[in-house]
Amino acid sequence: MMRGDEVVPIESQLDWQERYCRAAGSPTSAEILRAVINDLQGPRSLSTVLPSHTRFGDLIGLRIMAAVHLLAIERRAPAVAIFAPTLGGVAPSRSADPGRANRQFHDAVIEAIASNTEMIGTAITEVPQTNEVGRSRLLRIALSMIRGGVRLFEFGASAGLNLRADHLPGDPALESGPMPSVTERRGCDLNPIDPTTTSGRARLTSYVWMDDLDRFERLRGALQVAAEIPATVVKQDAADFVGTIELHTGSTTVLWHSSMWVYLDEGSRIRISEQVIRLGAKATRESPLWHVAWEPLPDDRDHHELTVQVWDGGPGSGTVGRVAIGTTHGRQVTLVANDDVGDRDQACE
């Protein structure tokens, strides 16, 4: 069982998420969860809307934060919107009287949830679809090690923004070469978001934390890129999708996933791993497979690791190497010295 599979009291998941948001510099989003925790421990007006227990890895706190943000974006919760920096509001922590502003914000959040129980009830059943383009920086590290043509595949792609990683901002200090030429971009999601529609853009924006104007700007830039660089995201389960991928001679097939493994059940994880091994066993120097992932460290919920598994039929084919660690949205990234990746003889020049 992964640590994310534990079933915990809802307050404990919200408390962890609140601390994570606060540490990441988003006190307003943290206050959304503080309002809910206080309510559950006090008046309990939300206890009919929210479950008493939750699977930790379902990250119900993210779902609640996004739903409240979406209500504000859609102007269905104006009393919340006036405190949301992403919507031009003033964060409670930055107001002249933070204590008073916080109490008003808490009231606005509880009122928004209590007045939209149907929407919230649906939102907490939906897997968070944060399409965080900060994670492109990690994918770009792997892409920068590849020479020649790349066919890029992603499962759990949300709106497919990271399928355009080679056109999104990277960090030259982390990359080891220029971007290869990406000739195909294809992903899957249980519920693909169309980044070219108003509702799709609103939904993607709702997953940005309220104080995080950098992420907000990054998303805005990525939406422009998405309008220019096409990528396909099909509605399909991850394990089925991986089973459809074939290798092509003369190009490197890159299979990427980020911040989605925790949402899979054990059966799906095993199926996907078996499909990767089956595909990897067919790989050669002329048709290599790179399996690249940015997922939480198994023993540390607060950090992610970038792993690269190169399959090319040569010695050590299929060895997993850790390349970098950092925080979920692709910040505080540190490269890890690794002999298993990056030095491989590339045949697909």
Ligand X SMILES: C[S@@+](CC[C@H](N)C(=O)[O-])C[C@H]1O[C@@H](n2cnc3c(N)ncnc32)[C@H](O)[C@@H]1O
The residue ranges that bind ligand X (CB under 6 A) are 127-132, 135, 155-158, 162, 188-191, 237-238, 258-260, 263-264, 268
Smallest gap, in angstroms, from Cβ of residue 326 to ligand X? 13
* CB closer to ligand X, 268 vs 284: 268
* CB closer to ligand X, 21 vs 108: 21
Smallest gap, in angstroms, from Cβ of residue 95 to ligand X? 31
Which residues on neighbouring strands pair with residue 54, listed in sequence order?
8
Smallest gap, in angstroms, from Cβ of residue 120 to ligand X? 18
Question: How do 149-155 and 251-258 pair as beta strands?
Answer: parallel
> For residue 64, which phi and psi values (nearest 5 degrees)?
-70, -45
Question: How do 181-189 and 320-327 pair as beta strands?
Answer: unpaired
* Dihedral in degrees, nearest 10, Cα atoms 142, 143, 147, 149: 140
Residue nearest to ligand X (CB): 156
* CB closer to ligand X, 161 vs 348: 161
CA 169 – CA 166 distance, rounded (Å): 8
Q: Is the dihedral of CA 156, 229, 62, 24 positive or negative?
A: positive
Distance of CA 87 to the CA centre of its chain: 22
> Is the Cβ–Cβ distance between 283 and 312 less than 8 Å?
yes
CA-angle at 131, arms to 160 and 13, nearest 5°: 145
* CB closer to ligand X, 132 vs 166: 132
Smallest gap, in angstroms, from Cβ of residue 191 to ligand X? 5
SS3 301: strand
Smallest gap, in angstroms, from Cβ of residue 71 to ligand X? 20
Tally of CB atoms within 10 A around 173 = 7
* CB closer to ligand X, 45 vs 196: 196
Of residues 322, 277, 266, 319, the one with CA closest to residue 296: 322
Smallest gap, in angstroms, from Cβ of residue 146 to ligand X? 20
* CB closer to ligand X, 49 vs 190: 190
Ramachandran class of 202: left when φ > 0, alpha when ψ lies in -120 to 50, beta otherwise: alpha
Smallest gap, in angstroms, from Cβ of residue 215 to ligand X? 11
* CB closer to ligand X, 27 vs 128: 128
